[in-house]
């Protein structure tokens, strides 16, 4: 086993936020599920990562019950489920040790949010010497407000602001930043048809 599928933050927390109405990929569970099934058939390791912000009272606070995989996804026995408190999946977990112990040298990255936890993990993984495939169409993100925009706006106000970075722009920017530098951009179809 030299390849691992990293499923990053595909958790109920995101569905509890108003911004879920504007998510780039409302069918992410189906896309991730297809990648998980293909990885299992190939005998690749599947690693599940959840984001937690203890003590914050937010949807990422584990005491609120939303720091769990989205319905339709489940780890099988022997598949690690890690909980992180940083943007990348390495810094606050034992992910690198786990991968090293299992001889993993190639990673497939999927999850939420495309430009945050997924991209940050892919960049760090590359720096650590892993070969990285980034499956953009099995990630999800949200519109990004302008740096000077008020923080208390509704989703509708966010989308109406011409300064907001739309989800298609976020996805494209991430691919431009990663391709030929930190990762190879792959598709669900390309990884599940083999």
pTM recorded for the entire structure:
0.95
Judge whether 156 lies within some domain.
no
Instruction: Provide the pLDDT for residue 1.
Output: 61
Name the token pair of 38.
């293909």
Check 10, 49, 50, 117 and give the catalytic one.
Answer: 117
Judge whether 104 lies within some domain.
yes
Q: What is the mean pLDDT of residues 122-130?
A: 98
For the chain, the domain total comes to: 1
Q: Is 90 exceeded by the pLDDT of residue 106? A: yes
Residues 6+ apart with CB under 8 A from 22: 142, 143, 155, 158, 159, 167
117 is catalytic: yes
Judge whether 54 lies within some domain.
yes
Residue-wise pLDDT tens digits, 156-185: 999 999 999 999 999 999 999 999 999 999
β-pair partners for 109: 6, 134
Residue-wise pLDDT tens digits, 36-93: 999 999 999 999 999 999 999 999 999 999 999 999 999 999 999 999 999 999 999 9
Range of the domain at 98: 3-142+179-192
Instruction: Provide the pLDDT for residue 194.
Output: 63
Contact at 8 Å (CB) between 6 and 107?
yes
- Altogether, the residues listed in the chain come to a count of 194
Judge whether 172 lies within some domain.
no
Instruction: Provide the pLDDT for residue 90.
Output: 98
| C-alpha to C-alpha distances, 64 to 17, 28, 55, 60, 156, nearest whole angstrom | 13, 23, 10, 8, 26
């Amino acid at each position: 086993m030299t390849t691992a599928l990293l499923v990053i933050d595909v958790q109920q927390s995101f569905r509890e936020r108003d911004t879920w109405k504007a998510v780039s990929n409302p069918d992410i569970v189906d896309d991730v599920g297809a990648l998980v099934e293909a990885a299992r058939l190939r005998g690749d390791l599947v690693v599940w990562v959840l984001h937690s912000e203890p003590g914050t009272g937010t949807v990422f606070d584990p005491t609120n019950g939303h720091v769990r995989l989205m319905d339709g996804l489940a780890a099988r026995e022997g598949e690690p489920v890690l909980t992180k408190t940083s943007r990348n999946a390495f810094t606050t977990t034992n992910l690198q040790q786990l991968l090293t112990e299992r001889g993993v040298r190639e990673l497939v990255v999927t999850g939420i949010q495309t430009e945050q936890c997924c991209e940050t993990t892919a960049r760090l993984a590359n720096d650590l010497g892993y070969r990285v495939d980034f499956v953009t169409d099995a990630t999800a993100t949200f519109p990004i407000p302008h740096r000077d925009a008020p923080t208390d706006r509704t989703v509708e106000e966010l989308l109406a602001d011409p300064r907001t970075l739309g989800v298609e722009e976020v996805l494209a920017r991430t691919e431009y930043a990663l391709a030929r530098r930190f990762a190879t951009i792959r598709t669900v179809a390309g990884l599940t048809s083999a």
